[in-house]
Amino acid sequence: MNGKATTTRTKLERGRSALGPALELVHTGRAPTRAVLTSELGVTRATAGAVAAELEALGLIRVDSSPGSAAGSQGRPSHRLSVLETGPVVLAAQVHADGFRAALVGLGGRIVATSPGCVAVMADPAQVLGEVVEAGAGLLRESGLRCVGAGLAVPSAVAEPEGTALNPLHIAWPAGSPVRDIFAACVRAAGITGPAFTGNDVNLTALAEHRHGAGRGAQHLLCVATGHRGVGGALVLDGRLHSGSSGLALEVGHLTVNPEGRPCHCGGRGCLDVETDPLAFLTTARREPGPEESLLKQAGNLLRAEYEDPAVRNAAEALIDRLGLGLAGLVNILNPDRIILGGLHRDLLEADPERLRAVVADRSLWGRSGSVPILPCTLAHNSLVGAAELAWQPVLDDPLGALA
Amino acid sequence: MNGKATTTRTKLERGRSALGPALELVHTGRAPTRAVLTSELGVTRATAGAVAAELEALGLIRVDSSPGSAAGSQGRPSHRLSVLETGPVVLAAQVHADGFRAALVGLGGRIVATSPGCVAVMADPAQVLGEVVEAGAGLLRESGLRCVGAGLAVPSAVAEPEGTALNPLHIAWPAGSPVRDIFAACVRAAGITGPAFTGNDVNLTALAEHRHGAGRGAQHLLCVATGHRGVGGALVLDGRLHSGSSGLALEVGHLTVNPEGRPCHCGGRGCLDVETDPLAFLTTARREPGPEESLLKQAGNLLRAEYEDPAVRNAAEALIDRLGLGLAGLVNILNPDRIILGGLHRDLLEADPERLRAVVADRSLWGRSGSVPILPCTLAHNSLVGAAELAWQPVLDDPLGALA
DNA sequence: TGAGTTTGTGCCGCAACTAAACAAACTGCG
DNA sequence: CGCAGTTTGTTTAGTTGCGGCACAAACTCA
């Protein structure tokens, strides 16, 4: 098929091959000491020592030789490993229906600095992303830290490899906007170093939760979440985001969950999108929906504050049943070992976890798969942290190469 | 989480690391010469030469130093690489509603010997698998070839890691039969060397088609197929079967494709399973279904022979529309870059490819994903070859270790 | 026949790793 | 306090997979 198009990787390009995995272990908190790093990497103590020393020399991690507080076990206490607080950061940002937020995020998903939630005129993506990057650049100047990349989360499917936003329905951007290129241009224009990445917000939420939150340790993590409108999904397989062949996987909004339900713009009826989002909850509960940018909060508050109201409770149970049906369908297709829910779905889970689990168990064919754990997302600003993960990925894959 | 449970891989265990990938390239026909092996592996000619020589020394491949017929291009002609005809084989078998078949399969998916299709009393899995392995052992004795493993395809989901058949509905086995253990016991009892594996037949069809058939080169391959009853699915991601966290992924039979459709034993209505299988086709076309073991053939023959009959044509179009709806749902979730269809679905595709493609494009949200290629399965005995792939996998992963 | 092109092979050396022996830092016990 | 036992870090030597290079081999084309 290809003659010699494949990259002939030279010796100079490949660094110490265990460097990336080691950094990822420290990054995700799975290697608190050099001893567990050794066993986790499956290498000798000598190698693990050399790798840790090299990561320390790169200014990425800290190796505490004198911990003082040993944890009771006998034997020589191991050196503690941790992310270096004063190490490099990435610029992370998220755009959503009611504004944007920029932040600096270090290794370990640590938010170093964050801008206040900003409201912006949403018409023109170039203008909005210009403001976003401007805010991030300000944080960067204040901090004086080194920046090694930038990541952006948008509430839209992002087509690969073009990097275009296909359905930014709930922000007023034109469909097909080349958000990745626009963001990258803004980043370069602001003089920020490192590559720039863009991804779907639910995908990035899943990635963040997998590395630092409720998804830790899951091998097949399914994430389903609402924003103000619509439903998104994401799948993290063996630690890597699965976004399909062109970035459009897990567009779960059009699973049929209520054959007699309301019509959907996709041409079908009773899609997950229009049956389980905040607007659906409010109308089912016979409440007047407020402005689009506050639907999620309105629905969440209603659910928590007035759950004893029969109309609210019935609406919640109806949505839980439909959500459960959708999740069961996804379980039959994807067979995940954990499900995490965000947005209104998270609130619905917390309102009546037993009901949701029962529906999923009942309608997913396999009893054993029916017992798949369903958990709420736990991370604050998870899509922001996920955007940062995107920017950190090259460093995690090849620390030497990415920092050179 | 674990102290030192992880495998400390010693130097002796890891062979030449490019050995596995190289064998896989020859196995799948993507490395016809040593030159393309070099570029495909991304190593130097020296390394590729050493690797090829080692595989030849292992008795797995043949390196033709004197090809004679060069293909017109200038420069020194490259050594031709091919699978060694007299190399080791695996024992492959499939069990289906109307009997079983055993075969010996070499590298490259080459069927070396095959038993005639046998009819067996289906009641007891141990008895059936005993006959299956008996037939295979006979072939093995006749051939005198070395056997390095065994693989079995069953028409049921196989739970991992238990290896139990969860829904062998269309063969008269009890649900939950430990088929993997039974098969492994039979293999050992027959004195056949090497590990024994068991998998779902549609999964294995997908694997076989990916390596040797219509799925070659696809990175996200979705396969959907019918047997005599019901519908199965499979996904091959980057060359590896994706069977979910417990082997139960791609149980696509219960996607809703016809809200007003017939009731399904799952509790829903209009599931893919009961709306697009051979029985559904025959009843929709108002034909008297014959015995269960011949539904697929009966439906296929009817479709090909009497497509001009309005009842047949209408039934076909109805099934195509519902199948398209199901495929569109899967496209939205999985975003594959190729879809292949087997069983009656293959026949439906060939009866009216445009209609099916139009429905999928119309109902999968993204126009560009809607243009995903939909192809018929091409391989003869594909689930048999897939069962062989399962048995070959350890050799492909680590030739030195597996043959030692 | 000779220039040009592509491929195979032998040799050197690097770098990442293992293995093994030793040193260091702790616990626990008498 | 001292000593055994345990676990971890460090040093050194040795192995090895593979890149880089130079050269030989086998073809095409003029």
Which string of DSSP letters, residue by residue, matches B29-68?
Answer: TS-SBHHHHHHHHT--HHHHHHHHHHHHHTTSEEEES---
Give B-chain residues touching A264 at CB under 8 angstroms.
none
Average pLDDT estimate for A132-159: 97
Rounded CA separation B330/B206 (Å): 15
Inter-chain CB proximity B248 and A369 less than 8 Å: yes
The reported pLDDT for the residue numbered A370 is 62
Q: How many angstroms separate the CA of B74 from the C1' of D23?
A: 20
Rounded CA separation B31/B17 (Å): 17
What is the CATH number assigned to the segment(s) B89-203+382-403? Answer: 3.30.420.40
Residue B180 binned pLDDT confidence (cut-offs 50, 70, 90): very high
- Could you tell me which CATH class the domain B19-68+75-83 is placed in? mainly alpha
The reported pLDDT for the residue numbered A169 is 74
Protein residues closer than 7 Å by CB to strand D: A 8-12, 33-35, 38, 45-46, 48-49, 53, 65, 73-79; B 11, 14-18, 42-47, 50-51, 66, 68, 70, 72-77
Size of interface A-B (CB pairs under 8 A): 152
The reported pLDDT for the residue numbered A67 is 62
Protein residues closer than 7 Å by CB to strand C: A 11, 14-18, 42-47, 50-51, 68, 70, 72, 74-77; B 8-12, 33-35, 38, 44-46, 48-49, 53, 65, 73-79
Give B-chain residues touching A39 at CB under 8 angstroms.
2-6, 8
SS3 assignment, position B277 = coil
Residue A4 binned pLDDT confidence (cut-offs 50, 70, 90): very low
Domain ranges of chain B: 19-68+75-83, 89-203+382-403, 218-376
Domain A89-203+382-394 maps to which CATH number in 3.40.605.10, 3.30.420.40, 3.30.465.10, 3.40.1580.10? Answer: 3.30.420.40
Give B-chain residues touching A167 at CB under 8 angstroms.
365
| Residue whose entry in the numeric block shows the structure tokens 């297709």 | A333
Q: How many angstroms separate the CA of B76 from the C1' of C9?
A: 14
Rounded CA separation B387/A269 (Å): 40
Identical fold between A89-203+382-394 and A217-376? yes
Which 3-state string (H, E, C) describes A323-391?
Answer: HHHHHHHHHHHHCCCEEEEECHHHHHHHHCHHHHHHHHHHHCCCHHHHCCCEEECCCCCHHHHHHHHHH
For residues A2 and B156, the model is more confident at B156
Nearest residue, CB atoms, A244 vs list B4, B217, B335: B335
C-beta neighbour count of A278 within 10 angstroms: 27
Determine the nucleotide nearest to B70 by Cα–C1' distance: D27
Q: Pairing between strand B374-376 and B338-342?
A: parallel
Inter-chain CB proximity B332 and A247 less than 8 Å: no
Q: Which residue is nearest to nucleotide C9 (CA to C1')?
A: B46
| CATH T-level fold of A19-67+75-83 | Arc Repressor Mutant, subunit A (1.10.10)
Contact call for residues A295 and A257 (beta carbons, < 8 A): no
Region of A69 on the Ramachandran plot (φ > 0 left; ψ -120 to 50 alpha; else beta): beta
Query: What is the helix (H) or strand (E) element at residue B83, kind and residue range?
Result: strand B80-83
Nearest residue, CB atoms, B368 vs list A159, A252, A266: A159
Q: Which nucleotides of D are covered by protein (CB under 7 A)?
A: 5-13, 15-22, 24-29
Helix, strand, coil % over all residues of chain B, rounded to 5: 45, 20, 40
Residue B117 binned pLDDT confidence (cut-offs 50, 70, 90): confident
Report percent pLDDT > 90 for chain A: 83
pLDDT digits (tens, 9 = 90+) for A209-218: 999 999 999 9
- CA-only gyration radius of chain B, Å: 22
- Is the model's pLDDT at B2 over the cut of 50? no
Q: How many angstroms separate the CA of A42 from the C1' of C21?
A: 21
Rounded CA separation A101/B33 (Å): 54
Q: What is the dihedral of CA B41, B47, B52, B55, to 10 degrees?
A: -100
Extract the tokens encoding A323: 């959500």
Rounded CA separation B25/B36 (Å): 10
Determine the nucleotide nearest to B73 by Cα–C1' distance: D28
Inter-chain CB proximity A249 and B333 less than 8 Å: yes
User: A256: closest CA among A159, A193, A322?
Assistant: A322
The reported pLDDT for the residue numbered B7 is 33
Best residue of B369, B371, B372 to probe chain A, by most A CBs closer than 10 Å: B369
C-beta neighbour count of A288 within 10 angstroms: 7
The reported pLDDT for the residue numbered A171 is 86
The reported pLDDT for the residue numbered A293 is 87
User: A137: closest CA among A87, A182, A93, A94?
Assistant: A93
Average pLDDT estimate for B94-115: 95
Rounded CA separation B36/A99 (Å): 52
C-beta neighbour count of B153 within 10 angstroms: 33
- Is the model's pLDDT at A70 over the cut of 90? no
CATH architecture type of domain B218-376: 2-Layer Sandwich (3.30)
The reported pLDDT for the residue numbered A117 is 80
- Is the model's pLDDT at A34 over the cut of 80? yes
Helix, strand, coil % over all residues of chain A, rounded to 5: 45, 20, 40
Rounded CA separation B63/B55 (Å): 9
For residues B314 and B15, the model is more confident at B314
User: B351: closest CA among B261, B293, B281?
Assistant: B281
Rounded CA separation B396/B334 (Å): 27
Average pLDDT estimate for A71-85: 89
- How many residues make up chain A in this entry? 404
Report percent pLDDT > 70 for chain A: 93
Q: At residue B185, what is the residue type?
A: A
Rounded CA separation A98/A118 (Å): 8
Contact call for residues B322 and B276 (beta carbons, < 8 A): yes
Give ∠ CA B246-B250-B256 in degrees, rounded to 5: 130
The mean-pLDDT minimum among A203-217, A293-307, B164-178 falls in B164-178
The mean-pLDDT minimum among B118-122, B277-281, B334-338 falls in B118-122
Average pLDDT score, chain A? 92
Give ∠ CA A72-A75-A76 in degrees, rounded to 5: 100
The mean-pLDDT minimum among A180-194, A199-213, B251-265, B299-313 falls in B251-265
What angle in degrees, to the nearest 10, is found between the helix axes of B19-27 and B34-41? 130
What is the CATH number assigned to the segment(s) A217-376? Answer: 3.30.420.40
Residue A69 binned pLDDT confidence (cut-offs 50, 70, 90): low
Residue B305 binned pLDDT confidence (cut-offs 50, 70, 90): very high
pLDDT digits (tens, 9 = 90+) for A337-375: 999 999 999 999 999 999 999 999 998 877 666 689 999
Give A-chain residues touching B176 at CB under 8 angstroms.
none
Which 3-state string (H, E, C) describes A86-117?
Answer: CCCEEEEEEEECCEEEEEEEEHHHCEEEECCC
SS3 assignment, position A328 = helix
